[in-house]
Structures are given as C-alpha cells and as structure tokens.
Amino acid sequence: MSNLLITSAKVAFPGNPFHGKEVDVLLNDGEISKIAPRIEVTDDKVTTFDAKGQYLAPGFFDLNANFGEPGLETKEDLLSGCAAALAGGFTGVAVHPNTHPPVHSRSEVALIINRMKSLPIDIHPVGAISKRREGEELAELYDMKLAGAVAFGDGNRPVQQAGLMSRALCYCKGFGGVVFSFPEDTSVAGDAKMNEGVTSTYLGMKGKPNLAEALMVARDLYLAEYNDSSIHFTTISTAESVALIRKAKSKGLSVTCDVAAHHLVFTDDLVAGFESNYKVNPPLRTKTDVKALLEGLEDGTIDAIVSQHTPHEIEFKQVEFHIAANGIIGLQTVLPLALQAGLGTDQLIEKLAIGPRRVLALPLPEFKEKALANFVLFDTEKTWQFDKSTNRSKSSNSPLMGRAIKGGVTLVVNKRQIINTLN
C-alpha cells in the first residue's frame, strides 16, 4: 500500500492553509504528492481509502509511556508497545526508564533507538536522572543525550533529594536537556493506596493527600526558578498543582506539564468497587480536581495529554486492591477518553500532537506537498469494542477492557509506512 489515495478527509492541522477543509490526499511511497479538493487517479496500483467524516491530523505524540524492554518484556516489549501506540494514533512516544535495568546510561538508550529504527514510529527514550533510579547520584545525562535521550526523569519514582534535582536542572540547562518531574513527596504520600478524601474514609483505606503532589510541584518550581532552567511536570492530578503551575507560567517561568487521560474522566469514587484496574499513581482524584484539570487544558496551563501506559501481567493486577500494582494500559484509549472528557477537535490536536512536541522542542509534522507524511486519520463517532481481539498490548490491565468505546483511529502514516488499524 505504498501508493494510497485518501478521499474526503477533513484536515485538522491548525495553522495550515487546508485546516478545516475537506480534501483528497495522494501518497506516493510515504510522501504527500498531491493535496486537492478532488483527485482522480487511473493507476490501478493506487489503493483508495474513503475517509469521509474522519479527521486527518498530525500523528499523536505521547510524553509518558512505559514499555518493559529491556528486562520486563513479559509486560510489554518494544514491538508490542509500538503496535499499541500505532493503534492509538501515536507516531511518536517518549518511553520512560521504568525498566530492568533502568535506562540510565548510553547503552540502554542506544539499545532502544537501534531496535526501533525500522518501525513506523518515532521512539524517544527518557533517560533516568539518577543512577539505577535510586535518587542518590546523577546518571550519565550528557552521554545519554548524545546517544539520543530526549529528556531525563526517574520515571515513576519521584526525586526526593532537592539537591539532586537542583543539580540535574542546572546541569541539563547547559546542553538543552529537558527534566521531567514526577511530583510526589513520599514522606507525605506514605504507603497510600488511593486518594485521600470521602471515599478513602468510607472504605477505611489509607489515602494520599493532594498535598503530597502540591509540595513537590512547589519545590521543583522554586528549584527551576533558582537555576533559571526549564522543567516539565508529568501526570499532574490535583487542582493545587494546576494553580501553582498557572501562577508560575504567569511569572514567566519556563514550565510545562501534562495530565494522564484517565485523570480527566475517572474519579476516586470508582475505587469503591475495589477494581484494581482503577489503581493508578497518582491516584484517581475528585470531581473538583477533574474540573480544575479540564480548566487547565482550556486555558493553556496544561500542555499535553498522555497515556501513562503502564502494562502489567495478570498476577500483578488480579489480586486484592491493596497489593495490586499501580497502573493501566492507555495508549489505545487516550483519544476516546479525551473525547469523553469533552475536548473539541482543535484542542485534541493541540494536546495530543502539537503541545507534546513543543515540550521536547521536536519538529511538528508538516502537511504539504512533497513532505514526508506523518499523520493520523481518526473518527470521533466510530464505536469499537476494546477486548482481546482489538488490544495490541501484551497486557490487558485496563478498566475499559470489554467495553464499547467511542472514538477510534483508522489509519496511521509515518516513516514511509502506512498502517491500516482496521485490519
């Protein structure tokens, strides 16, 4: 399918001359050879794809996904993670260093990049800030940058030592490295299993207060200001975090942040059924927090929506809630959840494709003739069943498994490859 004619697609490339228009697009070996209101072809080697009612948008980019390779391939390897990402419309993914061994040196970064060269997705390793993600000694940050690491963070382990985070911010400033903060003060969070609030009190379960996140956001904002450096907060979940980051942006600080798609829809009352697939970190919060997160997306405080894709084998999730592992798979359900949260098409594109790449200073996909295609076709009205037959991940830990979902991806084009996700 190297020669493809896409007909009647509605373009969703903000700032592009074709934005909002219905066009035909002719692809030749992954390159956009023609864009026009109507294209007629007589070559029987050209495959036609009817995109009536669908949006053609820049390929999505995920700033927070976990693939198990190296070391945890039974959860997810790079190939299965790539398949799940493509099925969700992602042509670019930043993979976090929650692996074994962690991605904390040049060799792990090179392994990931070399493994993904031939695949139709751009994989960008996030190197660990600290050696072995132990939060005590800086890892080989510049070496990892030279090898291809796009940012630095300790994955799902927050950096507790303020001095270490300060040195990381100062050091990365010298070579343009991006520092990711997973904001949680573990001395406040403790061994909590869910959000602290009415539901945790009702269930008699130890809760994690919003304060644990807000304290770390406040600390790292001060450190970034002190070092005159930039910082990115990943998977914020509270109203307090939104307010702190909004204020920092108004002061001119170089700060960005993202939110996980499930935090825009699910709330902590769902934990009352002790369904372990609702156990995530940060935990599901309250309706007040969800409202603040949606307002943060609307006013530009929050730059991106992420999957926080965290696959686990069945034995880590089908157990009692208090001992179940945190995390759900999310690459294939980001779009449906964002639609369920009420985001419009332009806002979807901004938070799923444009904003994430700006955080990492990556080039945006172009939609013009003679450009290499990097786009996704999606249908906001498409209803599909998320089950064993449609799940592309090795794992199945999602509360949406077995449900009918609205909003789906039909076609992805990137790196001269065309993936029909309907097959």
Whether residue 138 sits in one domain with residue 67: yes
370 domain-assigned: no
Q: Which own/partner pairs from 169-174 qualify as long-range (CB within 8 Å, at least 24 positions apart)? A: 169/223, 169/224, 169/227, 169/229, 169/231, 170/227, 170/229, 171/138, 171/141, 171/142, 172/141, 172/229, 173/227, 173/228, 173/229, 173/230
pLDDT tens, the chain, 423 aa long: 578 999 999 999 999 999 999 999 999 999 999 999 999 988 888 999 999 999 999 999 999 999 999 999 999 999 999 999 999 999 999 999 999 999 999 999 999 999 988 899 999 999 999 999 999 999 999 999 999 999 999 999 999 999 999 999 999 999 999 999 999 999 999 999 999 999 999 999 999 999 999 999 999 999 999 999 999 999 999 999 999 999 999 999 999 999 999 999 999 999 999 999 999 999 999 999 999 999 999 999 999 999 999 999 999 999 999 999 999 999 999 999 999 999 999 999 999 999 999 999 999 999 999 999 999 999 999 999 999 999 999 999 999 999 999 999 999 999 999 998 866
Whether residue 166 sits in one domain with residue 285: yes
Per-residue confidence (pLDDT) for residue 200, from 0 to 100: 96
Whether residue 62 sits in one domain with residue 137: yes
Per-residue confidence (pLDDT) for residue 423, from 0 to 100: 62
Whether residue 105 sits in one domain with residue 134: yes
Angle at 53 between CA 47 and CA 59, to 5 degrees: 70
45 domain-assigned: yes
CA 38 to each of CA 22, 34, 54, 380: distance values in angstroms, whole numbers, following the listed order: 9, 10, 16, 23
Per-residue confidence (pLDDT) for residue 86, from 0 to 100: 97
Whether residue 384 sits in one domain with residue 265: no
Residue with tokens 């076709």: 377
Q: What is the rounded CA–CA span in Å between residue 76 and residue 84? A: 10
Q: Which amino acid is at 366?
A: E
Per-residue confidence (pLDDT) for residue 96, from 0 to 100: 98
Whether residue 354 sits in one domain with residue 385: no
Whether residue 171 sits in one domain with residue 71: yes
CATH of the domain at 30: 2.30.40.10
Whether residue 322 sits in one domain with residue 255: yes
Whether residue 389 sits in one domain with residue 320: no
State the total domains in the chain.
2
Per-residue confidence (pLDDT) for residue 1, from 0 to 100: 54
- Domain end residue (candidates: 359, 387, 407): 359
Give 187's contacts (C-beta < 8 A, 6+ positions apart).
160
Q: What is the pTM of this model?
A: 0.97
CATH of the domain at 115: 3.20.20.140
Per-residue confidence (pLDDT) for residue 42, from 0 to 100: 81
Whether residue 68 sits in one domain with residue 40: no
Q: What is the rounded CA–CA span in Å between residue 195 and residue 71? A: 31
- Residue 97 is part of which domain span? 58-359
Residue with tokens 């449609």: 390
Q: Kindly state the DSSP code that residue 277 receives in the 8-state scheme.
A: G
Whether residue 40 sits in one domain with residue 129: no
Whether residue 225 sits in one domain with residue 98: yes
Give 394's contacts (C-beta < 8 A, 6+ positions apart).
74, 75, 76, 77, 80, 311
Q: What is the rounded CA–CA span in Å between residue 242 and residue 141? A: 29
Per-residue confidence (pLDDT) for residue 193, from 0 to 100: 94
Q: What is the rounded CA–CA span in Å between residue 47 and residue 126? A: 38
365 domain-assigned: no
Among left, alpha and beta (phi > 0; psi -120 to 50; other), residue 252 is: left
47 domain-assigned: yes
368 domain-assigned: no
Q: Kindly give the residue spans of alpha helices, DSSP state H, lying in 47-185.
A: 78-87, 106-115, 141-147, 162-173
